[in-house]
Amino acid sequence: MSANIVTIMVVTILWLITIINGSYLPDDTRPNSQQEVIFNDDEESFLAKPPYLHSINQYFKQSTQDNEFEIEDNEDEEDELDDIISIEDINNISLKKPYTWQKVLDDIRNLNIQHGDKKSYKLFYLQRHGEGWHNYAMSKSYYNSSEWGCYWQLQSGDDVIEWEDALLTPLGIKQINNLRDQFDREELPFPNQFYVSPLRRTVKTWELMWKDKTDQKAIVKEFARESYGIGTESKRHDRKYLEDNFDFLTFENGFNDEDVLWTDKVHESKQHRNWRAQTLLIDIFQQLKQEEVDVISIVSHSGLISSILKVIGHKKWKLPTGSMIPVVIGIDWDKFGKVYKLSKPWKTMEDYCPIKN
């Protein structure tokens, strides 16, 4: 294992100590099955394995197994969903008949009453940011995959556009405005908790989608970010920049001033991203254990959302930029879930741009 990866994992562990109501006690430099997680508020301990996460798939068309837009999952596949399939006209907010939104909420509340402290269920809106300038730059009509992978992803931009911690394109802004109108038109249940990735494209997406609809602030979660490393589009601004430019944000405990996760040497593996998505969900459920919160919004990225769907057992689903998928997620505190041993290597520049003899 390279020194860069070890350093990132050590920083990740130290960061987790501050955000969860308890502590990780590692006996190695990376998260593994020998760690102990202790939640101090109710003296529950989870030894060796995390609690079990799962989705309830009966309510939404995209959650069932008979939809033509399902994508086969490959644990080793590292390509972003943009490179797998392009569908711009999917309605991801699709209730199955005869369900109504009120019925979904009633079922969630009844399940929470029935299971008490043993299990918890919530409706999540998993929203992808609108098109960013990096999405535009990575399109084959602008830079091809070889040009992007070998050179341009390392740059902050070119003479025309900037994609380091990218902002939204005009199309991306239009996509979010359309989604906001759809949300209003279909009268979806309104979230009572908001989370957002620290990258600018997700923060601007949250602003366009939610700022005028609520007095609540969005909580910035480090682990809600996209796969990070090498490419400058995955590098975030510092906390002061976010505070100075977006007054509707608040920050989770332990949020670092600087971006301590990003490096120009390696790119996060899908396996690590899956572990990060699992950790993010457990943290959210834990933080809300004593709160009456049924509907949660997370504004994030295609890769992280695909990992969330993976760790809850939902089928893989394409999310174009500027779209959203509702999912009912449950957690069973007494049942062990999957352990991610984090054994797979992270990408290096040679993976993106092989050296030819």
The one-digit pLDDT tens for each residue of the chain (357 residues) are 555 555 555 545 544 544 444 333 222 223 322 222 323 333 233 335 899 999 999 999 887 755 444 444 444 444 443 433 333 444 567 788 899 999 999 999 999 999 999 999 999 999 999 999 999 999 877 898 899 999 999 999 999 999 999 999 999 999 999 999 999 999 999 999 999 999 999 999 999 999 999 999 999 999 999 999 999 999 999 999 999 999 999 999 999 999 999 999 999 999 999 999 999 999 999 999 989 999 999 999 999 999 999 999 998 888 999 999 999 999 999 999 999 989 999 999 999 998 765
User: Would 309 be classed as within a structural domain?
Assistant: yes
| Residue whose pair of structure tokens reads 């390279």 in the numeric block | 2
**DSSP annotation of 353:** S
DSSP 310-326: HHTTPPPB---TT-EEE
Coil, strand or helix at 162: strand
In terms of residue numbers, what domain contains 266?
52-337
pLDDT at 355: 75
User: Would 45 be classed as within a structural domain?
Assistant: no
User: Would 129 be classed as within a structural domain?
Assistant: yes
- pTM to 2 decimal places: 0.84
* CATH of residue 143: 3.40.50.1240
User: Would 331 be classed as within a structural domain?
Assistant: yes
Contact 213, 190 (CB under 8 A): yes
Pairing of strands 295-300, 193-196: parallel
User: Would 21 be classed as within a structural domain?
Assistant: no
Q: Which segments of the chain does DSSP mark as H helices, in order?
A: 3-19, 101-115, 133-138, 145-150, 170-186, 200-210, 239-245, 270-287, 302-311, 349-352
User: Would 347 be classed as within a structural domain?
Assistant: no
Coil, strand or helix at 346: coil
User: Would 6 be classed as within a structural domain?
Assistant: no
Count of structural domains within the chain: 1
User: Would 107 be classed as within a structural domain?
Assistant: yes
Active-site residue set? 129, 226
For helices 200-210 and 170-186, what crossing angle results, to 10°? 40
Give the C-alpha separation, 50 to 333, whole Å. Answer: 8
193-196 β-sheet, strand order: 51-56, 324-336, 119-128, 295-300, 193-196, 218-220, 249-251
45 membership: H or E segment, kind and range: strand 44-47
